[in-house]
A and B are shown apart, each in its own frame.
Chain A
């Protein structure tokens, strides 16, 4: 297994902070993107990419690697940031987000190293991850696991439950779903748009094991992933329901569906980035490209 260079808790915390910063920089510079859903899974991605996943950035097609399907592909900025920080491509590339021939707004696995699938429409990723898990089984690959990050809102989609039913039917205990349960959808709250509760019970009724954790608690995430990989494989797929806060890190975006899709003005981004520094205890740092840009004809704020 290829371990990242430094797996201290502090390092993972640093990476979560940098994932948030870079997501915001990308969304601001690219003038489009989803801040809320990127911030809510910053710790999840930091633990996955800097502690848990079996990966080798020098060999993106390593057969024994873990695969991660981002089903909530609108959270792509956070994933792109994690992949860049992990060494799949230069951090500088992130500033091509949403540009022609740059990094795709959602996910295009043919254009960005480290992506395991393409996506955008919600509800589709768990089936892909189940197919990967079945494929690992066919290949008799006992080392690798298939991970899928789901949004809570996308669990409204029927396709998720088709996939859930089949994963239990085929005893895919090499499949680990992680729900970024941030309670907020595009235009309202999960409980009001379409309630998914009782959520853990639903998964259990579909034949899954379910764990519930604080999705911003790094040690809790590490523990859940350890359990998923080493303790729970006993004939059932496992879901980790990670309770998170949408937009976690910047007060105005927290628990606020108005910041589901929103590219801030450069000055707003600058203030948000400084808030992030103070909040997480790092030296205050604003928007890196405040002086550059933005000579585009249209500014796509809002949705």
Chain B
């Protein structure tokens, strides 16, 4: 469950990534981390320090990074080919798709530096389409953690999956949302704030912004529900349908493009079974440019204020489309299946 912020300055998410790699390395002797010359940025270097014999440097050659990972998985190892998300999901997509996802090999793919926070590196390094691309691959699981505890839990559950997993790591310091005993289950979301008027579906670091948006809305007498869906694929259809059928409208928020990613995944579920008004927050269909992180969120209308505004629009659409829904709910849509 969501809690108040406890620690004044939580570690950066990438530090937790590196620490969790070491933690898993202790537990899984067959785990191998591979790197393409970025380990001190991604923090995969923590694993190199702890287990130098199980760390493979391939140089700046991402296609080979994923091909070698496939070969190691065929030998029964659990490889973590680590690089920035852009280089994994753009440069090496074919290797990820056909060498790994197609034969369902046990490869865990961390995507570092996702979405807007990449330290002013610009469009070439802002990975915004990875959710859309990776969730389109059969056999691939996709997760975007909401805080450090969530990332750690995702990495632990990735080890329980016999197959490929893609998970995102933001170069960002996120407020703690979940306690240290947080658990993550594939295909299971979590309602982190109960509400009646609209559901804010968040994934990754945007769930925190949804909670902030809910606080803004509360001041305007709007009671927003917030659902965190770290597991983008498989996605928690039941939670989405149950929540949206109660609140009658939805907003999605992701640290990625709105084209084909998390918002699309939620819209697919709602469109199939429970069509309610929906607004999507994320990077619009354009390339990101360099800038400070806060400026980028403001520029792409991805702040808590923007989410709150979208929620008001969704509520207005709901009233315009079907006034009765606000009182009777939408459960009849569920029953039709």
Chain A residues at the B interface, C-beta cutoff of 8 Å:
67, 69, 108-110, 116-121, 123-136, 138-139, 146, 158-159, 162-163, 165-166, 169
Contact = CB atoms under 8 A, between A and B. Distances in A.
B75 A162 contact: no
Interface in B204-223: none
Given A120-B98, A124-B67, A165-B61, A131 B103 contact: no
A291 B166 CA distance: 51
10 contacts: A109-B103, A110-B104, A117-B103, A119-B99, A127-B64, A128-B71, A130-B71, A135-B77, A138-B32, A139-B75
Nearest to B79: A131
Chain B contact residues (Cβ within 8 angstroms of A): what range?
A: 20 to 34
Contacts of A162: 58, 61, 63-64
Given A117-B99, A159-B63, A134 B68 contact: yes
A127 B98 contact: no
Contacts of B104: 110
Contacts of B58: 162, 166
B75 A131 contact: yes
Contacts of A110: 103-104
Given A159-B63, A162-B64, A128 B77 contact: no
A166 B61 contact: yes
Contacts of B313: none
A120 B64 CA distance: 16
Contacts of A109: 103
Nearest to A146: B71
Nearest to A111: B103
A162 B91 CA distance: 13
B76 interface: yes
Nearest to A116: B74
Contact of A121 (B71, B98, B103): B98
Q: Which of A128, A129, A136 has the most CB of B within 10 A?
A: A128
B36 to A, nearest CB: 10
Contacts of A121: 94, 98
A110 B64 CA distance: 22
Contacts of A120: 98
Nearest to B70: A128
A124 B98 contact: yes
A133 B77 CA distance: 12
Top 7 nearest A-B pairs (CB, nearest first) are A131-B71, A127-B67, A135-B75, A162-B64, A131-B68, A162-B61, A132-B71
A165 B61 CA distance: 10
B199 interface: no
Contacts of B102: 108, 118
Contacts of B68: 127-128, 130-131, 134, 163, 166
A117 to B, nearest CB: 7
Nearest to A130: B68
Contact of B63 (A134, A138, A158): A158
Contact of B95 (A108, A133, A159, A166): A159
B69 interface: yes
Given A118-B102, A159-B64, A131 B74 contact: yes
Nearest to A69: B71
Contacts of A129: 71
Given A138-B75, A158-B63, A165-B61, A131 B69 contact: yes
Q: Which of B69, B74, B94, B95 has the most CB of A within 10 A?
A: B74
Nearest to A126: B67
